[in-house]
């Protein structure tokens, strides 16, 4: 679904800037009418996506992370993109589909893989595209569920 409005952040790929992403998410999601619980879930998921870029994409070199919030009446899409080193989860070849960790025992999930498990548990949809030489893009989607009283 094409976004009606977008907000784009280009930030240094350091942990210091993850809070800025969370604050922007809170402001946008609040205006859209998401519940406190949904916003907290999204904050955890977007933090995981950003932390993957910060920790794995650029090593010690530093780089940029682009975060795009796509707003429609029905959903919020958060795209976290870096141009650093691409990755693949253990047992998964790089692809345009989200890595599936549900068929693995938690003891078999390596460090870093648990973040994707969390994102999938907290969001309605998670897509990961990682391409050698082009970086990684994580797309998180949360649909807005309006209560009957607010309609």
pLDDT at 147: 60
Which residue in 123, 53, 44, 48 sits closest to 87, CA to CA?
A: 53
Mean pLDDT across the chain:
81
Instruction: Walk me through the domains of the chain, giving residue ranges and CATH numbers.
Output: 5-143 (3.30.565.10)
DSSP string covering 85-119: -----TT----SSPPP-TTS-GGGPPTTHHHHHHH
pLDDT tens-place string over residues 47-65: 999 988 888 777 767 789 9
Please tell me which residue, 115 or 66, carries the higher pLDDT value: 66
Task: Say how far apart CA 4 and CA 72 lie, in whole Å.
Answer: 5
């Amino acid at each position: 679904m094409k976004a009606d409005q977008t907000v784009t952040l280009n930030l240094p790929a350091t942990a210091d800037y993850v809070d800025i992403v969370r604050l922007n998410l809170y402001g946008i999601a609040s205006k859209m009418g998401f519940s406190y619980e949904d916003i907290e879930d999204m904050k955890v998921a977007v933090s995981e996506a950003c932390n993957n870029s910060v920790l794995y994409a650029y090593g010690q070199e530093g780089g940029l992370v682009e975060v795009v919030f796509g707003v429609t009446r029905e959903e919020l899409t958060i795209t976290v993109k870096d141009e650093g080193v691409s990755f693949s989860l253990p047992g998964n070849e790089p692809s345009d589909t989200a890595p599936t960790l549900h068929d693995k025992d938690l003891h078999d999930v390596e460090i870093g893989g648990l973040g994707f498990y969390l994102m999938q548990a907290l969001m309605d949809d998670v897509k990961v595209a990682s391409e050698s030489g082009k970086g990684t893009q994580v797309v998180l989607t949360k649909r807005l569920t309006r209560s009957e009283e607010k309609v």
